Amino acid sequence: MQQLCLKNRDMINIEIKSWCRITNTKVLLNGEELEIPLRENTSWLTNIYKSQKIDYPKYFKMDTLSKAGFLASEIIMRSLNIDPLEPKPKWSIISMNSSSSLETDKNYQQTIQDTNNYFPSPSVFVYTLANIVTGEIAIRNKIMGETLFFVHKDFSPHHLYQYSIDALSNDSIENLLCGWVEDGDNNIDVLMFALKKNTKVNNFNIENIKTIY
Amino acid sequence: MIYRLSDNIISTLGFNSKDNYSQIKNGNSGLKLYENRFNLPEPFFASLIDEEEINDRFSSLPKTTNEKYTKLEKLSILSCSDAINLSNINPSSNDVIFVFSTTKGNVELLEENKEFEKERVYLWKSAQVIKNYFHNPNQPIVVTNACISGVAAQLTAFNLLNNHNFKYAIVVGAEVLSKFIISGFQSFKALSMQMCKPFDRDRDGLNLGEGASSIVYKLADNDEVLPKERIEFISGTVRNDANHISGPSRTGEGLFNAISETIKGYDTSKLSFINAHATSTPYNDSMESFAIERGGINNIPVNSLKPYLGHTLGAAGILETIISFHSLIDNTIIKTLNHQNYGVEKSIIVNVSNKESKKPAFIKLISGFGGSNAAIMFEKSGYDKY
């Protein structure tokens, strides 16, 4: 297989401003583990939501994929002291995963499987699109650049890097939230970066993505 | 510079681009009423491709693997095969990348799956199966971005060609309909029970359609003698509304931004037409009128292709781009079928009869769930006639 590599051209510096990793047991912000007290009868993601004192009622309507992506973006944006209400025309969002919206697809299928117990609901159906997670993050943060969703069999640092470079090559875009957001088989696997271009620091590269993941 | 080498459309109206284009030019629609299909309690108005004909045509293709294929994969392979044959490229070459656009892939396997392995419902798996048919060595790219997938996939392909080591991109979009998709749109009350009415006062929803479509693009070499007749990619942009996950911004914020960015620095008097998304839902069409007016291109005729083939979801952005290519070459602005009484908030020119225009460019608009919007613009040169 051909290795994806950039053609010779003017390279732009890209800096990782902040990153967040969420798995089934841990939340890392720039490498530091956040303390998440566990409440009874509360899901892992909602424990994260509560421990971070996030106040965004729309969270409770989201499916697991959107919740996971939303929480990572929220932790990142707070660490950068960025006001969610400030319009962000120069920010884009790119997400990738393996199972698209399969967990919600299965839930939705249960509502239509049986003709005698048929109750399709628009509020479930809308989350059978994986890119809704990018929409949720865009709405929360007034991000008005590009929002794209890609599917790969496995986490692919090469492709994450490539899509990020492509997104930031756009003259009108300066910042990017990008990452892997997966909830397949109820395994939460999120790695999200906030990137900024034309910085002095240039530390966003495939090796760094691999190390952090 | 990137230009188109070839294309294909598979729909109820035909198995190649030319047949689809001529049916559409003649005002024929592939939409009809289906009752008791997919075990759905309610009837629906849509465009479904005959499965027997797909199987028939598929069985006449060369057998290149031992794989069994789903309807979606057969359609995609049939579509790519025709486009590849017309382009004369070698799809198994290292410098060819497949970009696959779909919203739901093989989702109907969730209802019943006796024939295929479990992972067949993953979008990456379908893409792999499709590119393996052609013995392509590269990991395929899958774009799933709701209704704008087909345009987003083309823009992704252009990035791959411009910034990375590929020379040819095969962009393929496909969607098959199922109980899953239709029940979902019905639950949203988004479907019309008759042929949809773009930009019409009485529009009451969209129609869904099945389709596969592919385009082969080439990145021109520095020293290449370009073909005299060609269609070039000019620019394209994706922008989010940041407003609502299942409805557009009323004033078309994201689409307006996508249009502005796409036409920046371009002489829009060269635009022959605007191919709108125009699904015929009350919100979408009105939003588009805002975006087109705000973008300052409301002096250019607008058309919608939805009354011919319905909304083909992940295929739509590619399929409608291809019909627009052919109508551009044919110097014809295709009419918006079934538009009777103007009924959107802002003032735009809805094209209601096939009109001659020799202008060289068009812009295609598209919007979808998740707040995403896109615009993409192409220009022709050298063609004398269709």
A141: distance to nearest CA of chain B, Å? 8
User: What tokens were used for B337?
Assistant: 């079928």
Tell me the pLDDT tens digit for each residue of A33-72.
999 999 999 999 999 999 999 999 999 999 999 999 999 9
The answer to whether the CB of A44 falls within 8 A of the CB of A71 is no
For helices B17-25 and B316-329, the axis angle rounded to 10 degrees is 70
B155: distance to nearest CA of chain A, Å? 10
Say whether both B189 and B271 belong to one domain: no
> Mean pLDDT, 10 residues at a time, over chain B (386 residues)?
98 98 98 96 97 97 96 98 98 98 98 95 98 98 98 97 94 98 97 98 98 98 95 98 94 98 98 98 98 98 98 98 98 98 98 98 98 98 92
Comparing CB atoms, the residue among A132, A146, A156 nearest residue B238 is A146
Domain extent, residue B31, equals 2-219
**CA atoms within 13 Å, Cβ hemisphere of B169:** 30
Confidence grade of residue A6 (pLDDT, cut at 50, 70, 90): low
Residue from A85, A144, A172 whose CB has the most chain B CBs within 10 Å, to mutate:
A144
A72: distance to nearest CA of chain B, Å? 18
**Interchain contact A87–B (C-beta under 8 A):** yes
Instruction: Examine residue B226 and state whether it is found in any structural domain, yes or no.
Output: no
User: What tokens were used for A124?
Assistant: 């479930």
Q: How many CB pairs under 8 A join A and B?
A: 170
Give dist(CA B286, CA B250) in Å, integer: 8
**Interchain contact A206–B (C-beta under 8 A):** no
Give dist(CA B86, CA B88) in Å, integer: 6
pLDDT given for residue A3 in this prediction: 47
Which amino acid, residue A179? G
Instruction: Examine residue B103 and state whether it is found in any structural domain, yes or no.
Output: yes
* Count of CB atoms situated within 10 Å of the CB of B110: 20
Nearest to A196 by CA among A159, A155, A167: A167
User: What tokens were used for B195?
Assistant: 């042929």
B161 to chain A: closest CA residue: A7
**Do the bridges between strand B2-10 and strand B361-368 make them parallel or antiparallel, or are there none, so unpaired?**
unpaired
For A88, which DSSP code? B
For helices A102-112 and A64-79, the axis angle rounded to 10 degrees is 150
Interchain contact, A150 vs B103, CB within 8 Å: no
Rounded to a whole number of angstroms, the CA Rg of chain A reads 18
Comparing CB atoms, the residue among B185, B237, B370 nearest residue A131 is B370
Residue from B187, B188, B367 whose CB has the most chain A CBs within 10 Å, to mutate:
B187
User: What tokens were used for B267?
Assistant: 């002489």
- Choose the final residue of a domain: B187, B219, B251: B219
Residues 104-143 of A with CB under 8 A from B: 105-106, 108-109, 112-113, 115, 118, 120-122, 125-126, 128-132, 134-136, 138-139, 141-143
> Structural domain tally of chain A?
1
Residue-wise burial string across B238-264, b where 16 or more C-beta atoms lie within 10 A, e elsewhere: bbbbbbebbebbebbbbbbbbbbbbbe
Instruction: Examine residue A12 and state whether it is found in any structural domain, yes or no.
Output: no
Give dist(CA B19, CA B135) in Å, integer: 28
Rounded to two decimals, the ipTM of the complex is 0.97
Tell me the pLDDT tens digit for each residue of A137-175.
999 999 999 999 999 999 999 999 999 999 999 999 999
**Interchain contact A14–B (C-beta under 8 A):** no
Comparing CB atoms, the residue among A6, A9, A112 nearest residue B179 is A112
The answer to whether the CB of B127 falls within 8 A of the CB of B84 is no
Say whether both B204 and B254 belong to one domain: no
Tokens 């389709």: give the residue: B211
The answer to whether the CB of A5 falls within 8 A of the CB of B164 is yes
A133 to chain B: closest CA residue: B370
Nearest to A60 by CA among A76, A52, A71: A71
Question: The domain that contains A53 carries what CATH number?
Answer: 3.40.47.10
> Structural domain tally of chain B?
2
Domain extent, residue A73, equals 21-212
Interchain contact, B180 vs A108, CB within 8 Å: yes
Say whether both B238 and B213 belong to one domain: no
Instruction: Examine residue B377 and state whether it is found in any structural domain, yes or no.
Output: yes
Comparing CB atoms, the residue among A128, A144, A151 nearest residue B240 is A144
Tokens 């689409």: give the residue: B255
pLDDT given for residue A11 in this prediction: 75
- Give the H/E segment covering residue B197: none
pLDDT given for residue A7 in this prediction: 64
Q: Which residues of B touch A132 (CB under 8 A)?
A: 146, 245, 369-370
Instruction: Examine residue B228 and state whether it is found in any structural domain, yes or no.
Output: no
Instruction: Examine residue A88 and state whether it is found in any structural domain, yes or no.
Output: yes
Give dist(CA B329, CA B57) in Å, integer: 28
The answer to whether the CB of B310 falls within 8 A of the CB of B190 is no
Q: For CA atoms A130, A135, A140, A146, give the dihedral sign.
A: positive
Interchain contact, B238 vs A148, CB within 8 Å: yes
Instruction: Examine residue A191 and state whether it is found in any structural domain, yes or no.
Output: yes
Which amino acid, residue B345? E
Q: What is the pTM of this model?
A: 0.98
Collect all residues with Cβ–Cβ distance below 8 Å to A177 and sequence separation of at least 6.
A73, A76, A91, A92, A93, A94, A137, A143, A192, A193, A194, A195
Q: Which residues of B touch A146 (CB under 8 A)?
A: 237-240
For helices B71-87 and B123-133, the axis angle rounded to 10 degrees is 40
Instruction: Examine residue B20 and state whether it is found in any structural domain, yes or no.
Output: yes
Give dist(CA B100, CA B72) in Å, integer: 12
Give dist(CA B16, CA B328) in Å, integer: 17
Spatial strand order of the sheet with B32-34 comes to B32-34, B44-47, B208-209
Nearest to B325 by CA among B227, B222, B219, B217: B217
**Interchain contact A166–B (C-beta under 8 A):** yes
Mean pLDDT, range A171-182, rounded to an integer: 97
B103 to chain A: closest CA residue: A129
pLDDT given for residue A9 in this prediction: 53
Nearest to A64 by CA among A172, A174, A151, A188: A188
Instruction: Examine residue A110 and state whether it is found in any structural domain, yes or no.
Output: yes
Q: Percentage of chain A with pLDDT > 90? A: 92
**CA atoms within 13 Å, Cβ hemisphere of B332:** 17
pLDDT given for residue B151 in this prediction: 98
Interchain contact, B105 vs A100, CB within 8 Å: yes
- Give the H/E segment covering residue B44: strand B44-47
**Interchain contact A84–B (C-beta under 8 A):** no
Collect all residues with Cβ–Cβ distance below 8 Å to A140 and sequence separation of at least 6.
A56, A58, A70, A73, A74, A84
Residue-wise burial string across B270-293, b where 16 or more C-beta atoms lie within 10 A, e elsewhere: ebbbbbbbbbbbebbbbbbbbbbb
Confidence grade of residue A2 (pLDDT, cut at 50, 70, 90): very low
Comparing CB atoms, the residue among B152, B180, B370 nearest residue A112 is B180
Three-state SS for A96?
strand
Confidence grade of residue A4 (pLDDT, cut at 50, 70, 90): low
Tell me the pLDDT tens digit for each residue of B145-202.
999 999 999 999 999 999 888 999 999 999 999 999 999 999 999 999 999 999 999 9
The answer to whether the CB of A161 falls within 8 A of the CB of A77 is no
Q: Which residues of A touch B243 (CB under 8 A)?
A: 139
User: What tokens were used for B383?
Assistant: 């063609």
Q: Say if residue B322 is exposed, middle or buried (CB neighbours under 10 Å; 0-12, 13-18, 19+).
A: buried
Collect all residues with Cβ–Cβ distance below 8 Å to A26 and sequence separation of at least 6.
A33
Interchain contact, B144 vs A162, CB within 8 Å: no
For A197, which DSSP code? E
Q: Which residues of A touch B369 (CB under 8 A)?
A: 126, 129, 131-132, 135
Nearest to A101 by CA among A62, A136, A127: A127
Which amino acid, residue B99? V
Comparing CB atoms, the residue among A2, A138, A151 nearest residue B144 is A151
Comparing CB atoms, the residue among B141, B165, B257 nearest residue A2 is B165
The answer to whether the CB of B212 falls within 8 A of the CB of B74 is no
Say whether both B202 and B271 belong to one domain: no
Give dist(CA B8, CA B322) in Å, integer: 8
Question: The domain that contains B256 carries what CATH number?
Answer: 3.40.47.10
Interchain contact, A149 vs B94, CB within 8 Å: no
Instruction: Examine residue A15 and state whether it is found in any structural domain, yes or no.
Output: no
The answer to whether the CB of B210 falls within 8 A of the CB of B177 is yes
